Copies of this chain bind each other. A is one copy, B any other.
């Protein structure tokens, strides 16, 4: 998540230099082709870039809206994970009858939930940082590593322990139901995150946007070159840059679980839950909140 209010324009230029180069080369070729190849009395009608502009405006607007929606939905899902994680800990701590063996079991179930969050985050960001192993026993670690979907396997163990709590009579049916509902929620939130990660935004939308921007840049150069001479190269690029930067800006949000500066700060959110849960358990060693990098963004 970006937190800096002031972004350097140079950064945007660096992000788009390849496209900028293609555009400048296209404009230059177009300009000279028109100067030396096409007869001068042919006036390209301005309606071509105008219609293309309409099409591009639709595409960029559409892409940006859908990208932002995915980003915001992703944020909401992890917001729900925060809420349900707290309810999970609160319910376990307060609603399970006190017995000799209930307290360690509860602690295990809360820590295991932190492990669940770390494995889920790892799967969404395609890395395996192993932090989760800290919150699991040897046995559990062995069990979950036999599954292709580790976070799903952890939920399975949670269900088994919940059934244990119920069979031992430490919770009644109502409390069992409430805690199971939270497990179902975790399962849903996990599935929703995977849906956003695995569903590729229809690539034709981004492809046609590129084609039409290129056609626009070429046709606008043709249209204005008779008025402003070689300035048409600069103006062609400038107008193309306006569209390109807007498009790239939106596309930066389309995969909200990636490990980049514009994405959802999964590290920060996971850590916040970790801190909340450990505090509720009364632990003494609480990790630090995640710090922003260069005061620019949080991961």
Interface string of A217-251 (1 = CB under 8 A from B): 00010011001100100010011001101100100
Which one of B43, B61, B93, B187 contacts A228 once the chains associate, using CB atoms below 8 Å?
B43
Known: A86-B187, A147-B279, A174-B173. A204 touches B262 (CB 8 A): yes
Closest to A172 in B: B173
Known: A83-B192, A156-B90. A54 touches B55 (CB 8 A): no
Q: Is the CB of A275 within 8 A of B148?
A: yes
Which one of B48, B55, B199, B206 contacts A1 once the chains associate, using CB atoms below 8 Å?
B199
Q: For the complex, what is the distance from the CA of A68 to the CA of B110, rounded to whole Å?
A: 38
Q: Point out the residues of chain B lying under 8 angstroms from A188, CB to CB.
A: 80, 83
Q: Is the CB of A204 within 8 A of B54?
A: no
Q: Is the CB of A43 within 8 A of B227?
A: yes
Contact residues of A: prevailing secondary structure? helix
Q: Is the CB of B53 within 8 A of A54?
A: yes
Q: For the complex, what is the distance from the CA of A8 to the CA of B90, rounded to whole Å?
A: 50
Q: Is the CB of B243 within 8 A of A94?
A: no
A20 to chain B, nearest CB (A): 15
A32 interface residue (CB < 8 Å to B) = no
Known: A149-B276, A184-B87. A203 touches B2 (CB 8 A): yes
